[in-house]
Structure 1
Amino acid sequence: MSIRDWAAIRRALILGDSYNSEVNAHFGNTSGDTDRTAAKNICLVQSNDSALIAQQRIRFFREEVQKTHLKPTIIGKPKVDVDADVTYHPQIFIRLWQDSTAVPRGKFPKSAEFSYRVMGETSETVTNEKLNSYARLVYSAFFQNQFAINKGKYIGWYISPVDGLHLQLYCIDEAECTRVAQAIVSKLNKTWSESLFKITKPTRSNAVSTTDTITILGQTKQRPQWRPNCTVRATEAWISLWAEAEEIRNSLDCENRRHI
């Protein structure tokens, strides 16, 4: 590869919505946090980096920060197949992840997710200006002060079709179910209705047992824990539009996307 070719690639990695933009969105505002600032600076491609140094920065970001090689297998259906079967209003998703420092060695971080639909809009009526408006709401509601949920085995349900809400919130107890549901409804500028809220109280234990093991292909492994208690924090957001193959992410969480 010629020096001119590398210079063009490096420029693309640094400018616009490319790699450096993803790193900045991932770390969000790191002012006042010297450790996060230092980690972000390690990941950002610099204007004088060689190809080798840039590759090391990208590898560090993918493997040590995002830990992409440790992501669990996801079983699901491609969005294009879903869209061929049913039409829907635009849907905004918020995903929360467990702090990496709280994840036991050898385990995957736990996550949570909730969403709401933008009623009165369709894929054809949504504009870039409206996306920016949604982004400001999401940022202010869930990222400016990082929204957290204490996860557990209880389920809080809040179903209000007229508001585009079908919340299924896994929380540590009944009080947390109520707090989280009310907070989401309030942050989305909707009116809370007690009649639309209910809580499921499982009797099954979710306690950890070090002796609860299974054997797979001759190897003894810990049985997956059912609905463990842990804290998860808002980390990423995106909007899904019907008939749009890719989810739209940057406009929703780039102002303060947090990785934990």
Structure 2
Amino acid sequence: MTLPSSFGHWEHLQDMIRREHNKIVARYFKDLGDISWEPNINTPRAALRTACRIDDQDTAIMTLIRLYLFYEVLGYGKKRLGNFYGMPALDFQESFEGRPQVFLFFSQDRASVPDKLSPITAEISFRLMDETSESITPAKALTLANKIKQEMTDGGKEIYFNKGRILVNYNDRKHGLALRIYATSEDEGEKIIKKILTIRNISFNASHLSVSIPKRQSQNLPKGTKTIYGKQRKNRRWRPSARVRFRYAYLYVHGLNEVVPLVDATGQWIDALVHV
């Protein structure tokens, strides 16, 4: 059957994109309502959903910008990608089976990032040695998420620590802890370590703590260039110092194709078990 004489390629394409995209947006913002939700800008999340939702009257440029906002700026296009380890995720998991692992992510506030530089980040991980892929459950993950929220927030605000050049280690293999905290002082590193120990209900043991203080100073804004791969390139920062704030936590469980979002303070993990 041929296309009708009145068929419009753009109208048809936009209609298909609008229908399918708005279904995904509705699932992403399901806490606000289903597909019949009426657009409004009464809250920050409502304003975001309104901006992401494609309208029948949108031009091609507006449609593209809405898609870009949702899939790139909010990160939905990257969120469901499989973990990449240099080989397919399932192949990696078969060769490295371990206890469930928790990751805590911190980053510098955008307002304090110098022009043309990326925010300074920090990621801390530990394993749940008392759990396996078979024993860990959604209920246990929720309990863990609530503990993380309790320790990683203070008065409803995400906590921070001052990242820097000093390496504070805490090694307790029995409890799945091989923590490496880059901080501006031993006290700063110990502060975060003790919060992680509280999350795991483990007592602090000073014999597991070690500190490495390099003679070299932090380089936040290095000057000059050097030749790398046949081209002059700007010198990179070395253990820069900055205040980094808790953003989110997720759980990796061997055998799952996706991580389990535990706690989210960014508004981007709609399926996180706990929100800040």
What is the TM-score when the length of structure 1 is the normalising length? 0.75
The answer as to whether partners of 2:169 and 2:179 remain within 8 angstroms in 1 is yes
Map Cα deviations across residues 32-60 of structure 1 (whole Å, 9 max, x no partner).
xx9xx55x444314797416456433423
**1:90 positional shift:** 0.7
**Counterpart pick for 1:92 among 84, 102, 116:** 102
Q: Is it true that 1:141 corresponds to 2:151 in the alignment? A: yes
Are residues 98 and 75 of structure 1, via their aligned partners in 2, closer, same or farther at CA, if it must alter by over 3 Å? Answer: farther
Task: Using the TM superposition, give the Cα deviation of residue 145 of structure 1 relative to its aligned residue in structure 2, in angstroms.
Answer: 3.4
1:44 to 46, 49, 67: 49
Other-structure match for 2:165: 153
Is 1:225 matched up with 2:230? no
Q: Which residue does the alignment assign to 2:37? A: none
Structure 1 unaligned regions, length at least 5: 24-33
Structure 1 residues 76 and 237, CA, compared in 2 at 3 Å: closer, same or farther? same
Structure of greater relative contact order (alpha carbons < 8 Å, 6+ residues apart): 1
Q: 1:205 aligns with which of 205, 211, 217?
A: 217
- Seen in structure 2, the aligned counterparts of structure 1 residues 47 and 137 have a Cα distance that, compared at 3 Å, is same
C-alpha deviation, 1:234, in angstroms: 1.1
- SS for the counterpart of 2:157 is coil
Instruction: Indicate the SS of the match to 1:141.
Output: helix
Letter of the 2:129 counterpart: M
Match of 1:253 among 241, 260, 263: 263
Instruction: Check if 1:15 corresponds to 2:26.
Output: yes
What's the counterpart of residue 183 of structure 2? 171
Letter of the 2:259 counterpart: E
Shift of residue 137 of structure 1? 1.9
Quote the Cα distance in structure 1 between the aligned partners of 2:164 and 2:100. 29
Change (3 A) 1:61 1:12: closer
Contact (CA 8 Å) 1:83, 1:243: kept in 2 or not?
yes
Instruction: Decide whether aligned partners of structure 1 residues 237 and 22 sit closer, same or farther in structure 2, where only a CA change above 3 A counts.
Output: farther
Q: By how many angstroms is 1:92 displaced? A: 0.9
Aligned to 1:57, which of 66, 69, 86? 66
Structure 2: segments with no counterpart, 5+ residues: 1-11, 33-40, 269-276
CA deviation vs aligned residue, 1:99-120 (integer Å, no higher than 9, x gap): 1122222212111011121222
In 1, are the aligned partners of 2:220 and 2:241 still within 8 Å (CA)? no
Cα distance in 2, alignment partners of residues 119 and 56 from structure 1? 45
Once the 2 structures are TM-superposed, how far is the Cα of residue 132 of structure 1 from its aligned partner? Answer: 1.9
Q: Sequence identity of aligned pairs in percent?
A: 22
Which protein is bigger by CA-based radius of gyration?
A: 2
* Count of aligned residue pairs for this structure pair: 236
Hey, what's the Cα distance between the residues in 1 that align with 2:90 and 2:112?
36
CA distance in 1, matches of 2:116, 2:31: 27
Point out the structure with the larger helix share. Answer: 1
Alignment of 1:59-74 (within 5 A): 59-61=68-70
Q: Structure 1 residue 190 and structure 2 residue 202: aligned?
A: yes
1:101 maps onto 2:111 in alignment: yes
Letter in 2 for 1:59: Y
Distance 1:257 1:8 in 2: 27
Q: Is the 8 A contact 1:235 1:258 kept in 2?
A: no
Runs of 4+ in structure 1 off by over 6 angstroms are none
